[in-house]
Amino acid sequence: MNQKPRILVTNDDGIYAPGIYALYQVMKELGEAYVVAPDSERSAVGHAITLSDPLRVQEFEKNGAFFGWAVNGTPADCVKLAIKAILPSPPDLIVSGINQGSNTATNVIYSGTVSAATEGTIIGIPSIAFSLTTFKKIDFSTSAKIAKIIAEQVLEHGLPEGTLLNVNIPPVEFPEIKGIKVTRQGKTRFEESFEKRIDPMHRTYYWLGGTKLILDSEEDVDDVAIMNNYVSVTPLQYDMTDYKALEGLRKWRWKL
Amino acid sequence: MNQKPRILVTNDDGIYAPGIYALYQVMKELGEAYVVAPDSERSAVGHAITLSDPLRVQEFEKNGAFFGWAVNGTPADCVKLAIKAILPSPPDLIVSGINQGSNTATNVIYSGTVSAATEGTIIGIPSIAFSLTTFKKIDFSTSAKIAKIIAEQVLEHGLPEGTLLNVNIPPVEFPEIKGIKVTRQGKTRFEESFEKRIDPMHRTYYWLGGTKLILDSEEDVDDVAIMNNYVSVTPLQYDMTDYKALEGLRKWRWKL
């Protein structure tokens, strides 16, 4: 690539989040970076898009300078709107994150961070989702450094059509990271429970809670790589067809 | 199954929608049916879950009688809450719909209707999503009849672990339906555009619009089956790993 690559930066924690600021700083070192992100937190929005409300875009400042565009929509909305209405021309790369909290295993399907990268991939642009696997306050310098390394690789190699990368980074200092592992999506899931409470108006409400059920042990699984202090890089695609099940189902009595 | 099966009925168009009422009527003929559904439309919410707000449940009446529980959450929230906090015991089957509008091809990943069935499958319960592929006003009697036939098959055969069914029904009368086809998820997608408008306060806003790009022609693809007046039954799973891409990616220079 002779020209500087154009990079779209988005997230689901919102344009105020420290993770997107850290990601933007390193993307600026790789090319022309543009931030288009939700105006507030949209975590666990899944692959939502906004159909029935108008989308609004506002210029957003940080430290007294223009930082990016804030959109009253989801991460997928931001990607669509950036490409079709905000940026002067389509980007060469889309990066989403750095999310605070892991997007591994079954959590992938709830992830707004991943959905932005999926949206980019559907449109035909190489896209990467980055998550730091902790909810604790931590600085993003290590994960930003890693994001830069992985983005460089993608700018160099490109990605196969229909493939996005889902990157999860363990919450440790750079020297403690053992390396980068290409992984597959695990089966770990939350066993949910609801805590029932009564509000001051005597109405019942519920809080979602739960415990993580680790259901994998193979080293090439996303959560296992993270536990072993590896950066997990999972190629994802969005054809959800269960090809294994097709033949069996075709044998059922499908009579009307 | 000796006892009457217990069936959870949900949707993403909301508990007021005619599609869920039609689905409930036929599920009552198959077993004990329970309705737990969003209190308002949640279309295109994707696989969202509500983490930062409390969930509330209200009893909802229809035609003067108790109809079901309305939840201020997403379809995935409804399934979690129904199983963990509302129903006396887990259901034998979860049905979601009947959605107004198709959930085929890349739309599958935006679909709240499908996400309810995915959630049920993660929890380990056979689950089916039903959609009627039109936005026009139409009566749901044909699609409800078909939903009943397919639900009966699933109650008889069960579903493989991790597999859900995504059913799309063409918007024609029963005699015009050619049959049921087991299909795969197609590549058809929307080429989006945004219409820019100015509101009375002189602020810019955008409406999402677009045209459908039909990118498939094979008969076993969801949208093609629908165009040919077949009911489309697609088995889905939620491991999004791009297995084809793993080997290639492992050859990159993954140095820190």
Which DSSP letter does residue B130 get? E
Q: Per mean pLDDT, which range of A89-93, A129-133, A191-195, B167-171 is the poorest?
A: A191-195
Distance from CA of A61 to the nearest CA of B (A): 18
First to last CA, chain B: 57
Q: Assess contact for B100 and B74: CB atoms under 8 A.
A: no
Quick check: A249 and B242 CB within 8 A? no
**Alpha carbon separation from B5 to A52, B1, B8, B121, B165 (Å, rounded):** 37, 7, 10, 17, 18
CA dist A8 and A32 (Å) reads 9
The confidence score (pLDDT) of residue B189 equals 82
**Alpha carbon separation from A175 to A10, A58, A143, A146, A172 (Å, rounded):** 28, 39, 12, 12, 8
Q: Is the pLDDT of residue B1 over 80?
A: no
Q: Tell me if the domain spanning A6-187+217-250 has CATH number 3.30.465.10.
A: no
CA dist B255 and B81 (Å) reads 45
**What is this model's ipTM?**
0.89
The confidence score (pLDDT) of residue A196 equals 87
Quick check: B196 and A85 CB within 8 A? yes
Phi, psi of B136 (to 5 degrees): -70, 155
> b or e along B136-154 (b: 16 or more beta carbons within 10 Å of the residue's beta carbon)?
eebebebbbebbbbbbbbb
- Tell me the Ramachandran region of residue A249: left when phi exceeds 0, alpha when psi lies from -120 to 50, beta otherwise: alpha
For the beta carbon of residue A122, count every other beta carbon within 10 angstroms: 22
Q: Is the pLDDT of residue A49 over 70?
A: no
Tens-digit pLDDT profile for residues B79-119: 999 999 999 999 999 999 999 999 999 889 888 999 999 99
* pLDDT band at residue B252 under the 50/70/90 scheme: very high
Quick check: A84 and B193 CB within 8 A? yes
Question: Average pLDDT for residues A67-72, to the nearest whole number?
Answer: 95
Q: Find chain A residues with C-beta within 8 A of B76's C-beta.
A: 46, 110
Instruction: Read off the tokens for B74.
Output: 């997403």
B79, B241, B44, B225: CA torsion to nearest 10: -100
CA dist A14 and A71 (Å) reads 9
Taking one residue from A and the other from B, the number of pairs with CB-CB distance under 8 angstroms is 229
* pLDDT band at residue A2 under the 50/70/90 scheme: low
Distance from CA of B136 to the nearest CA of A (A): 16
The confidence score (pLDDT) of residue A128 equals 98
Q: Is the pLDDT of residue B42 over 80?
A: no
Instruction: Read off the tokens for A20.
Output: 């997107």
| Cα R_g (chain B), whole angstroms | 19
Distance from CA of B3 to the nearest CA of A (A): 23
Quick check: A256 and B177 CB within 8 A? yes
Q: Assess contact for A37 and A158: CB atoms under 8 A.
A: no
- Tell me the Ramachandran region of residue A231: left when phi exceeds 0, alpha when psi lies from -120 to 50, beta otherwise: beta
Q: Is the pLDDT of residue A126 over 70?
A: yes
Distance from CA of B62 to the nearest CA of A (A): 22
To test the contact with chain A by mutation, choose from B155, B241, B251 the residue with the greatest count of A C-beta atoms within 10 A, namely B241
Domain range annotation of chain B? 6-186+217-240
CA dist B13 and B97 (Å) reads 8
Which of A57, A233, A249 faces B204 most closely, judged by CB atoms? Answer: A57
Instruction: Read off the tokens for A126.
Output: 């190489």
* pLDDT band at residue B50 under the 50/70/90 scheme: low
B6-186+217-240: which CATH number, 3.30.70.270, 3.40.1210.10, 3.40.190.10, 3.40.50.300?
3.40.1210.10
Q: Is the pLDDT of residue B53 over 80?
A: no
Quick check: A54 and B253 CB within 8 A? no
* pLDDT band at residue B41 under the 50/70/90 scheme: confident
Tens-digit pLDDT profile for residues A199-254: 888 888 888 887 888 888 899 999 999 999 999 999 999 999 999 999 999 999 89
Q: Is the pLDDT of residue B3 over 90?
A: no
For residue A26, the one-letter residue type is V
Q: Is the pLDDT of residue A41 over 80?
A: no
The confidence score (pLDDT) of residue B43 equals 62
Q: Is the pLDDT of residue A68 over 90?
A: yes
pLDDT averaged over every residue in chain B? 92
Quick check: B236 and A235 CB within 8 A? no
